[in-house]
Each structure stands twice: as C-alpha cells, then as structure tokens.
Amino acid sequence: MNPTLTGGCNCGAVRFEIAEPLFGARYCHCTRCQRRTGSAASANAAVVPGSFRIVTGEAALKAWMPPDGHEKWFCGECGSAIFTRDPTDHAKTGVRLGAIDGDPGVRPEFRQFVAYSAPWEEIPNDGLPRYPERAPA
C-alpha cells in the first residue's frame, strides 16, 4: 500500500488527497508558469487518473481556462496554485509539487519549455534533460 499524499493551499480552505504515487515530475519554464507563480519555473507532477480528490474547499477553487491550454486551478481565497487539468480529458490532471504536504515521493526528472526561461535566473546545472518546448510524452 502506498501512503496517501495530502496537500492544500496557504489559507487552508482547499485540501486534497492523492491515492496513488505521482509520476512525470518536471520543472516547467513556460511564460504562463512564470506569470502564474511569480517564479522562474514551476514544479509539477502527473497524477494517476482517478487518484486525485478534493477533500474540502471545492467552492473556493477558481480556474484560469485559457482557450489553448490546460485549466489552471487555484484557491480563490489565497491564490495558491493547486492543480492543472486537460479540459478535454479531466482524468489528465497534474498537481503542483509545492502544494503537497511533506515529501511528494517524486523528484523532477526534466525541464520543459526552457526556450522561454526567465532572463533573470540561470537554469540550474543539475544534469536534468532540457526540452526547448513541451517534453515528449
């Protein structure tokens, strides 16, 4: 049995659980992630379909739904980024590693959209594969 991962937002309104281990952890250097987080990159991982569940705070959740991209869900009370979802297939969900309590059990394996990386921070020389655009699936 894998221990269930838990997490939530800064203000405590939103809490979630993930029943299966995460996979595909990555740093995303895209412009949207920079604006969304106010940082140079965001750390995300994919969840096994059906294993992600909002425990409390469904009503507090808000989303930015760009017409050409994934839904970006965050806490409408405190702004914490929580998860991302494919609008055409809600089973394809990714969670923000920073929203998870303690150790998420995975480590970022690559960096994507590095062609758009922030000019003010050099990409760490950590040996991770770098993809100029979206990482190949």
Contacts to Zn ion by CB under 5 A = 9, 11, 13, 28, 30, 33, 75, 77-78
Strand partners, 54: 16
The nearest distance, CB 79 to Zn ion, in angstroms, is 7
Contact 47, 20 (CB under 8 A): yes
Residue among 22 and 75 whose Cβ is closer to Zn ion: 75
Residue among 3 and 119 whose Cβ is closer to Zn ion: 119
Residue among 91 and 118 whose Cβ is closer to Zn ion: 118
What are the φ/ψ torsions at residue 15 (nearest 5 degrees)? -130, 145
The whole-angstrom separation of Cα 80 and Cα 98 is: 9
The nearest distance, CB 48 to Zn ion, in angstroms, is 21
Residue among 36 and 106 whose Cβ is closer to Zn ion: 36
Contact 63, 74 (CB under 8 A): yes
The nearest distance, CB 2 to Zn ion, in angstroms, is 26
Contact 70, 84 (CB under 8 A): yes
The nearest distance, CB 74 to Zn ion, in angstroms, is 8
